[in-house]
Amino acid sequence: MGIGIKELLVILVIVIILFGTKKLRNIGADLGGAIKSFRASVKEGEEDKKHAENEDESIEGEVTSKKNEKV
């Protein structure tokens, strides 16, 4: 009991009538740009997380070495 091809075609025709082909083209381009931007942001966030983890490791190394020193 899913949506068949006939139902999808009817929905597509209704959407084209409501929005028009030019508007749909613009919406598609905007959606594609948003997805591309989202992927770039996720990739940048992962790189920042790896960079932060590397900084934490170096900071922990410095702290442990100072604990062993006499003040």
Residue-wise pLDDT tens digits, 7-17:
999 999 998 89
- E-strand ranges in 1-71 read none
| pTM of the entire predicted model | 0.51
Residue-wise pLDDT tens digits, 29-47:
999 999 999 999 999 988 8
* Domain limits, the chain: 21-63
pLDDT of residue 41: 93
Determine contact, residues 16/24, Cβ cutoff 8 Å: yes
* Phi and psi based region of residue 3 (left: phi greater than 0; alpha: psi -120 to 50; beta: remaining): beta
The DSSP letter of residue 67 is H
